[in-house]
Chains A and B, each alone.
Chain A
Amino acid sequence: MSPAETERHRCFLRLFTAHEPAVRAHVRRLVPARADADDVMQEISVVLWEKFDAFRQGEDFRRWAFGVARFEVLAWLRDKGRDRLVLDEEVVAKLAEETAADEPRLERQREALEVCVGKVPREQRDLLMRAYEPESRIQEVAQSSGRSVAGFYQWLHRMRRMLLDCVRRAAGQEVNG
């Protein structure tokens, strides 16, 4: 690599590193499963680098990356939609647009999550983290909690709902309904 190339590469890495969690969360909101988000993120990271020439210094990297992400997610959905249950393109496009605009609030909620999870009793917190850790096996986690798999999924829904209430409050949001 020439010195200019190296510098450009460094610059990209700095920006990408800073915004990757937000881009990933954005993608997660648009695809059915967390593993799908990993898939699409790989693609997006490559495209961002390839198109980095078109990115102007001083521009909003996150906004630019969200645009690339939206395009890649829609392409991915079109590809996978034939044999997977995915949301309508129209719905996803709306979600992409609205959540990109709402990202500052959503980011505050994500930041608040750690505090909220910290308030969950130890045993339940362990279960929750085990259910979400990479390569987790829900059946095993369910079993060790003494619940049926269906019952465990119900419990997970309740936990997410409860945590959403908490992060809304913690992020200075009103509690709805």
Chain B
Amino acid sequence: MKVKEELESLIGAYVDGKIDEPGLERLNALLRRDAESRRVFAELLNVDSALAALAADWTAVRQPPRRGWAFHPVITAAAACVALAFGGWWWARSTAPFATVMEAAGCPGWVEDAELRGERCEIKAGTMSLRTARGARLVIEAPAEFSFESAQRIRVRRGRLAAEVPPTAKGFTVITPTGDAIDLGTRFGVDVPLAGAAEVHVFEGEVIAKAAGATEKQSLRGGDAVSFGEHVHTVRELRTSAFIQPDEMPGLSAGLAAGQRARSEAALAVLRRDPDLIALFDFEAPEPLPGVYRRVQGRWPGSHAPEFVGVGDHLKLDVGGLRSWPRLTLAAWVRLDRLGAPYQSLLHTDGWGKDRPGQVHWMITELTTMRLALYANQLAPGAEETHGYPDSRTSVLPEQGRWVHLVVVYDCEAGTVRFFFNGRFDKETLQSVANPARLGPAQIGNWDRHDRKLSGRVDELILLGRAMSDEEVRALFEAGTPYR
């Protein structure tokens, strides 16, 4: 009896990693000489491994406390996952999936309800939403490569991930090549570029960030953002809308399913034949346009759009030549990350001076309205605007973090500037002095004189040398919207 108790106590210490050298010697001696001791030993370790397997599943399906809680039949043994590498194939298993695909919008090779365990996943195009076994909602945007290590850990090699983590999944961790983000019940995003440091953006709640190799962790609160440098964190400006959020997914999926992409392409094909077209940028040309910007996904799976992130980011163009344009329509699909900066450039011709009356500056103001400024133009008496330039009435604020269609139509003979948001007419401002518009060398997303960086993406920019009718603007929006 005494020996049995001693044996069990030694086994306990051994299982918990607490055994000392004399203890291990004694355990060795007992096990060596007695088959029954070995049998008890094996059985206790067998219970230990079965408990670990059960716990992995149990945590996977743990729900907030409820009455009459009982083990759900889906809980079976074995869940710890082994990533298995052979011949470049990654594969892993467990009885319960770590995550399930909820929506796969334009992701070739992916289907809804696909169950993910430890396999290596790649999304070449599109956007995918997932739900982990513990209820965290994730949206991952292409191009992305990732794998789950458990329902609570995802390793992202590349891509953009937004997470909404309920209390049941507190501790959910995103591992990147340059650092980790551990969630404490919150909403946050992680951006892992192909090269360079990953960034963590906290929209709400608290996240613990730890750069690879760093000894210090950092607690980030809502509104904070950092990038993972060499052992350190660098503060970043928060870019909420760089991430597609779970609530945006249904609209995007439905838009794709309804054939919006084809409608958009058809509308562009018609515009390309328009004799008054000055330029149309869909940003799909294989050779990138000059400038400093990131090339990321546009409105459609696998399409491209420039994204402006850092101070000074811009895209250069030179269209419209030296001639003047009595009528001009500017249209763009824009996804704005943050607002409130004094000015965010949509399109700014270079410079701003007497020698070029009518030169165009199109922007978002600090009041989050749209502005079309033409050099040397003047507002008609009685105008609402107090800053001297035609401004929209509507704010783009409600559309922050989503794709929004912005249009302005200028007619110097009529002396009108007409603003449109998402196909809807917003307001008309009258100009008492109205020069024909001038284009030429310009920047999208910034200005060559001072930083007026647009925070976000621009997709499909159209410059048309005539005034689009309200009906045309509405049709352009309806054909081009990625949402349903």
A residues adjacent to B (C-beta < 8 A): 9, 13, 16-17, 20-21, 24-25, 28-29, 32-34, 37-38, 41-42, 45-46, 49-50, 85, 87-88, 90-91, 94-95, 98-99, 102, 106, 109-111, 113-114, 117-118, 122, 128-136, 153, 156-157, 160-161, 163-164, 167-168, 176-177
Contacts and interface: CB of A to CB of B under 8 A. Distances in A.
A20 B86 CA distance: 16
Given A25-B50, A134-B59, A153-B16, A45 B84 contact: yes
Contact of B46 (A87, A109, A134): A109
Q: Is the interface of A mostly helix, strand, loop or mixed?
A: helix
B42 A122 contact: no
Tell me which of B32, B43, B77, B85 has the highest count of chain A C-beta atoms within 10 A of its own C-beta. Answer: B43
6 contacts: A25-B50, A34-B80, A49-B84, A114-B76, A134-B59, A157-B8
Nearest to A156: B16
Interface in B19-50: 19-21, 24, 27-28, 31-32, 35, 38-50
Contacts, number: 165
Nearest to A34: B52
A34 B91 contact: no
A41 B27 contact: no
A20 B52 CA distance: 14
B54 A49 contact: no
Interface of B: 1, 4, 8-9, 12, 14-21, 24, 27-28, 31-32, 35, 38-56, 58-59, 62, 69-71, 75-78, 80, 82-86, 89, 91, 93, 95, 150, 152, 171
A130 B52 CA distance: 10
Nearest to A49: B86
Contacts of A110: 46-47, 49-50, 53, 77
A100 to B, nearest CB: 10
Q: Is the interface of B mostly helix, strand, loop or mixed?
A: helix
Contacts of B48: 28, 34, 160
B85 to A, nearest CB: 7
Contacts of A17: 93
Contact of A113 (B27, B39, B51): B51
A93 to B, nearest CB: 11
